[in-house]
Amino acid sequence: MNAIYDFSDQCGIVTGAASGIGKALALLLTESNADLVLVDRDKTGLEATVRACKEIRADALLAVDADVSKEQDVNRMVEETLVRFGTIHFLVTCAGILFRNNFTDISLPEWDEIMNTNVRGLFMCNQFVVREMLKQGNGTIVNVASVAGRSISLIGGVHYCASKHAVIGITRHMARELCAKGIRANAFCPGATSTPMIHDNLSADEIKQLKKRIALERLAEPEEQARTIAFMLSDAASYLNGACIDSNGGSVML
């Protein structure tokens, strides 16, 4: 993938690392010399990501099989990170789920499942990690939202859209509250990306129609999105705080 930034002597956590943008970011950060903790509830996918990362660099890697919607799992994620690496310099929250049901067909259990992972889980990951970052007086956070958090979702239901708006709100409030304590927090808003989330939920024809709404007339590749996140984590983005970076190829919302 060709590393652009050097994250030597930095340790970070990436949730949702089993596939898609999270996996691409894990590979890029491994190339960039970061010590990494890769987290996902998809154990098989997580193992595949770890194998791919170890082909690049065998050391400085920890895999944690965890569900971010569960408090005990998030707590264990942080504890295992500190035992292995002693500190946490950055966090990227790629973990998220999507359902496509129409507004009137969404059940309360489905609403809760989306919110438990995309909002409650993200909040817990941030809160538990920030508590450790405050002890060292620095840290960088990128919360992965979506173009859905900027407007509407062309793929997911209203619960997915609402959850991504919440991610942006949480991130902006964190940025305001924590910046004086050395912690930067920003939101990343990717558009349609060629990931399992897209291909598992849309037919070939639906993807074709989706591309027509994008000025670049194609889906993003996960590696393209990973490079933007790496920039947001890097010292090159040292003045970036409370921002929402859009990477959507010029999506047109109709």
3-state SS class at 224: helix
Please report which confidence band the pLDDT of residue 171 belongs to, taking 50, 70 and 90 as the band edges.
very high
Please report which confidence band the pLDDT of residue 131 belongs to, taking 50, 70 and 90 as the band edges.
very high
CATH class of this structure's domain 11-239: alpha beta
Q: Of 90, 128, 160, 188, which residue is the catalytic one?
A: 160
Please say if 239 is a catalytic residue: no
Contact 167, 187 (CB under 8 A): yes
Please report which confidence band the pLDDT of residue 243 belongs to, taking 50, 70 and 90 as the band edges.
very high
Distance CA 187, CA 195 (A): 19
123 Cβ contact partners less than 8 Å away, ≥ 6 residues apart: 170
Distance CA 83, CA 244 (A): 32
Selection from 100, 72, 125, 94 nearest residue 17 by Cα: 94
Q: Where are the domains of the chain?
A: 11-239
Sheet holding 61-65, edge to edge: 61-65, 35-40, 11-15, 90-93, 139-144, 183-190, 244-247
**Mean of per-residue pLDDT scores for the chain:** 95
Token reading at 241: 């705080």
pLDDT of residue 24: 98
Count, in order, helices (H) and strands (E) of the chain: 9, 7
The pTM for the full model equals 0.95
